[in-house]
Amino acid sequence: MSAEQMQFRAEVSRLLDIVVHSLYSDKEVFLRELISNASDACDKLRYEALTQPELLDQEADFKITVVVDKKARTITVADNGIGMTRDELVENLGTIARSGTSAFLEQIKDAQKADISQIGQFGVGFYSAFMVAQAVEVNTRKAGSAESWCWESDGRGEFTVEEGDKAERGTEIIVYLKQGEDQFLDTERLRGIIGKYSDHIAIPVILDGEEKPANRAGALWLRSKNDITAEQYKEFYHHVAHAYDDAALTLHWRAEGVIDYTGLLFVPSVKPFDLFDPKREHGVKLYVKRVFITDHAEGLVPPWLRFLRGVVDSEDLPLNVSREMLQNNLTLAKIKRGVTKRVLSELNKFASDNAEGYATMWGNFGAVLKEGLYEDAEHRGELAKLVRCASTAGNKLVSLSDYVARMVEGQESIFYICGESVEKLQRNPHLEGFKAKGVEVLLLTETVDDFWPSALEEFEGKAFKSVTRSGEDLGKIAGQANKEKEEPKPAPEGTNDLIALIKLTLGDAVKDVRASERLTSSPVCLTADEGDLDIHLERFLKQHNQIRTPSKRILEINPKHALITQMATRAKESGAADSLKDIAWLLFDQARLLDGDTLADPVAFSERLGAVLAKAV
Ligand code: ADP
Ligand code: MG
């Protein structure tokens, strides 16, 4: 049978084009990527063999070999892992759509300076071989299969696949070095690279037929802390997390007692590109007695800790546990609880030890942690202590405890407002009265912020309350600022007539019209009635087609505002009603716009505006 010629997927072609022409100097990372894939392939087979021992045939000892052929100018990286079928070969190394490909392309726009070392993070590490290769050949035989397949490419748009003659299971990658890359034919150079990047790989890496592996080949997480250097932790993190940053936090502990397990977990210092991709897999790998089981154990960490990377190795789960069995496994549930508690307490400690580092972590993962506030009743209380928010009190993020400690006399609730950005919120009319009385308001700008305050209900006994909700709260608060000047002034005469007139005019468009306590400089604003949905939340739900009929709002007018006092005076006069009606509608539209909403009827709006302006000129 002759070789079949196939096209790389378009994004892969573009990616390869960049990799092939890259002047990036740290080319040695290609070896790390190939060894990392070989190790993954062994892990996968070891897991499959738990239920199908026949897959291992004679050869139960896993190993990775790296062989140099100086004459042929090749490096061959081989493993006796799971191997690939023909379809897997074609898809994995050429045609399948991976979210990481475009994300990587996005990152390396400047081909010449592109930092290829990041490549593994995007799940496309294999292609890094083309930094040093003029051609790559892959021979593979899937464990348990009678066929083997050969893939070949020079990385320029096309690859070929044909039947091969590989006798043993596993995969062999032959890298045909480019001119000028002879440094990689030097065994000592390769030993150095393996020691640097692959020391923690749990499978022995055998270099050039030597007896002793070139790596330590033990499970790093089982070594004692004192035995592990910072550099080794870092390389291990890079391997398990497919990441290349310095972890913000490294947690390594052994739990002994009712259940025994070891955890080696990392909090990354940068946001993974697919943090909010619903298809995204969890980053914590589950091992049982050093055997890799799965890297997407649903029940190992809660979804709101999905940014964690690393390994949990259990002594108590049965080795033959299937991924399906894990779904409702009680031991796993206990491990999850233990891991969650540990992570929460370490984050708490991090927050008090290093406020600045913590704030950066919160910037990266706060939005994810906050999901736990409404999803996870059990850990809600602990999580609330970790929350940091922007507030009207200054530029620093504040904790809820800080907030409660600063509450003013007569203040009973934790006030917050949700919106698009802190800058926009700062100018929101709802805040005027709070600012005037020196009452701090939390400024919340992330999607999850619409949900957690009502789920959390209270913190240190103080209820959460959106400032867009109507209520008597402000009246009860004496306020810190200009206490002396604060004496309740009676609303100007005619205010009640004006309110009646606006109510009559707007009719069903509003739920009620009231004199406002919260406004100091704006004439109007809209608020949500007690029991109605928060305005920002409702808009979010509407965008996601979660509600059809929006709640009616309360229009608050500011009796102290010059426009309103004038209107109030006119409201009493007979015959003034008509022009006031147009203004009433315009004020209502203005309030909607200030809330970031759109006009209900732009044509009617401009007609009224025209009429009012015509009278004013
Ligand atoms: P990643 O390792 O992040 O999945 P790579 O580009 O490194 O991305 O590899 C792509 C895929 O090719 C792997 O997910 C795997 O399915 C397959 N693959 C690569 N190398 C091997 C190997 N040595 N044995 C079996 N499969 C492999
Ligand atoms: Mg890889």
Task: Read off the pTM.
Answer: 0.75
In short, whether 284's Cβ falls inside 6 Å of ligand 1 is: no
Min mean pLDDT across 33-42, 481-490, 546-555, 605-614 is at: 481-490
- Which residue spans of the chain are classified as CATH 1.20.120.790? 489-617
Long-range CB contacts (< 8 A, 24+ apart) of 337-343?
Answer: 338/255, 338/259, 338/261, 339/263, 339/265, 339/284, 339/300, 339/301, 339/312, 340/301, 340/302, 340/305, 340/379, 341/382, 342/251, 342/253, 342/255, 342/263, 343/251, 343/265, 343/301, 343/305, 343/308
For ligand 1, whether the C-beta of 124 sits within 6 Å is yes
Q: How many residues does the chain have?
A: 617
> How does pLDDT run across 103-129, given as a tens digit for each residue?
777 777 665 566 766 776 676 789 989
Q: What is the pLDDT of residue 446?
A: 92
Quick one: pLDDT at residue 484? 46
Mean pLDDT of the 436-451 span? 92
Q: What is the mean pLDDT of the chain?
A: 88
* pLDDT of res. 617: 85
- Name the CATH code of domain 226-378 (choices 3.30.200.20, 3.30.230.80, 3.30.930.10, 3.40.50.720): 3.30.230.80
Q: Ligand 1: does its nearest atom lie under 6 Å from the Cβ of 126?
A: yes
pLDDT more than 70, % of the chain: 93
The answer to whether residues 299 and 327 touch, using CB atoms and an 8 Å cutoff, is yes
Distance CA 372, CA 308 (A): 14
Q: Which residues pair with 137 in a beta bridge?
A: 152, 174
When pLDDT is cut at 50, 70 and 90, the band that residue 171 belongs to is very high
Q: Is the pLDDT of residue 553 over 70?
A: yes
Tell me which amino acid residue 294 is.
T
How is domain 387-487 classified at the CATH fold level? Rossmann fold (3.40.50)
Could you report the per-residue pLDDT of 566-606, keeping only the tens digit for each? 999 888 777 777 788 999 999 999 998 888 788 888 999 99
Q: How far apart are CA 308 and CA 299, in angstroms?
A: 14
Pure H helices in 457-511 = 473-476, 495-506
- Spelled out in words, what is the top-level CATH class assigned to the domain 489-617? mainly alpha
Pick the CATH number of 4-218 from 3.40.50.920, 3.30.499.10, 3.30.565.10, 3.40.50.300: 3.30.565.10
Q: What is the pLDDT of residue 199?
A: 82
pLDDT band at 423 (very low <50, low <70, confident <90, very high): very high
Do residues 437 and 408 touch, judged by C-beta distance below 8 A? yes
Name the segment(s) of the chain with CATH classification 3.30.565.10. 4-218
**Within the chain, which residue ranges are assigned CATH 3.40.50.11260?**
387-487
What H or E segment, with its residue span, contains residue 543? helix 535-543
What is residue 479's predicted lDDT score, i.e. its pLDDT? 63
Query: Among 315-319, 553-557, 604-608, where is mean pLDDT lowest?
Result: 315-319
pLDDT tens per residue across span 377-418: 999 999 999 999 999 998 899 999 999 999 998 899 999 999
Task: Reply yes or no on whether the pLDDT at 488 is more than 60.
Answer: no
Residue nearest to atom 27 of ligand 1 (CA): 37
Q: Are 564 and 557 in contact (CB under 8 A)?
A: yes
- From the CA of 81, give the closest atom in ligand 1: 24
Instruction: Read off the pLDDT of residues 222-281 as tens digits, 9 standing for 90 and up.
Output: 999 999 999 989 989 988 888 888 999 999 999 998 899 999 999 999 987 777 776 666
Q: Contact at 8 Å (CB) between 503 and 584? A: no
93 C-alpha vs ligand 1 centroid, how far in Å?
8
pLDDT at 332: 93
Q: What is the pLDDT of residue 588?
A: 94
Q: Does ligand 1 lie within 6 Å of residue 38's CB atom?
A: yes
Give me 454's structure tokens. 């009502």
- Report the alpha-carbon distance of residue 4 to residue 276 in Å, rounded: 38
Work out the angle at residue 470's Cα, subtended by the Cα atoms of residues 468 and 473, and round it to the nearest 5 degrees.
105
- In the chain, CATH 3.30.230.80 sits at 226-378
From the list 583, 605, 467, the residue with the least C-alpha distance to 536 is 467
Is the confidence at residue 93, as pLDDT, over 80? yes
Task: Give the pLDDT score at 542.
Answer: 79
Q: How would you classify residue 271: left for phi > 0, otherwise alpha for psi between -120 and 50, otherwise beta?
A: beta
Q: Ligand 1, from 8, 15, 29, 40: best to mutate by most atoms within 8 Å of Cβ?
A: 40
Q: What is the mean pLDDT of residues 139-160?
A: 96
User: What phi and psi, each to the nearest 5 degrees, are found at residue 129?
Assistant: -60, -30
Which residues lie at CB < 5 A from ion ligand 2? 37, 125
pLDDT score, position 615: 86
pLDDT higher than 60, residue 486 = no
Q: Which two tokens stand for residue 108?
A: 């390396």
Residue 309 has pLDDT above 60, yes or no: yes
